[in-house]
Amino acid sequence: MTSIIGYIENFIASREDQRVSGWLFVSSFWPTINIILIYLTSIYIVLPIFMKNREPYKLNTILKFYNIFQIITCAFIVYWCLTSGWIQGDFTIGCQAVDYSSSPRALSLLQGFQWAYFLKITELLETVFFVLRKKNKQVTKLHVYHHSSTLIMNYFICRFVGGGMASVTVIINSLVHILMYTYYYLASLGPAWQKPLEKWKPRLTIVQMIQFTLLLLHSLTLLQNCGGPRSFLLVYIPNMIFIYKMFYDFYKKNYTCSKLSVALSQILS
């Protein structure tokens, strides 16, 4: 296992963005691997043993503050990215080369990506909260894979394509998460909010699947000579397709075709 990770690390090092050398957590693949291993060990072994003879924790106040934190931080990351090239007119939606220079604006955008990576680490707490509240049915393969793979993808973005068109991915993902955590926050306010919010469950999932589709199509522009490593797509595209398929299967199982059609027509109307 160590030799495999070492090979991957050497492969990555030969293609990495040298600007992240020495940066916390993103200058090596090991911190990300260790974080995910700790995450998986905690939610599948340590915490279930800890909670075996305990009543579920409510965590109402913690969840409210957690959701507010996510909303504010996602908005901050969107603002950071927009003010690191978009507002100034440096970027376009399509093929956009990565600026690997150490100019203040290029480094600012790369630092924004690093903060997005840090935020993905905090999102792993969602699963911890599920286990502490004994909401084990919500600790699905989809949920765990999505959080783990998203952290890995954000690491790769920081280390390989820290700029240019990758900012579209970070901005869109952050905007979608603002919607999601706003929903979670309102739902945490109690039954008076939860019932009216029920109709938003399929809509939020449709938004997620639309996001995956847009990001997948957008990533294909990297097949052109966009000034970034196209080998990144060998990981990114299969992962995006797999996540989309998992989301689609989940909602096909949990929502009837009629409900999904109604939700889709409402969100597009």
Annotated active-site residue in 146, 147, 177, 218: 146
Phi-psi region of 164 (alpha: psi -120 to 50; beta: other; left: phi over 0): left
The DSSP secondary-structure symbol of 26 reads T
Tokens at residue 42, please?
Answer: 């905690």
Which residue bears the tokens 């597009």?
268
Catalytic annotation on 146? yes
End-to-end CA distance of the chain: 51
Q: How many helices (H) and strands (E) are present in the chain, helices listed first?
A: 12, 0
Output the CA–CA distances (angstroms, integers) from residue 226 to 19, 42, 97, 236, in the order listed.
Answer: 19, 40, 5, 16
Q: Which of 129, 92, 88, 85 is nearest to 111 (CA)?
A: 85
Q: Say if residues 108 and 80 touch (Cβ distance below 8 Å).
A: yes
Which residues form the catalytic set? 146
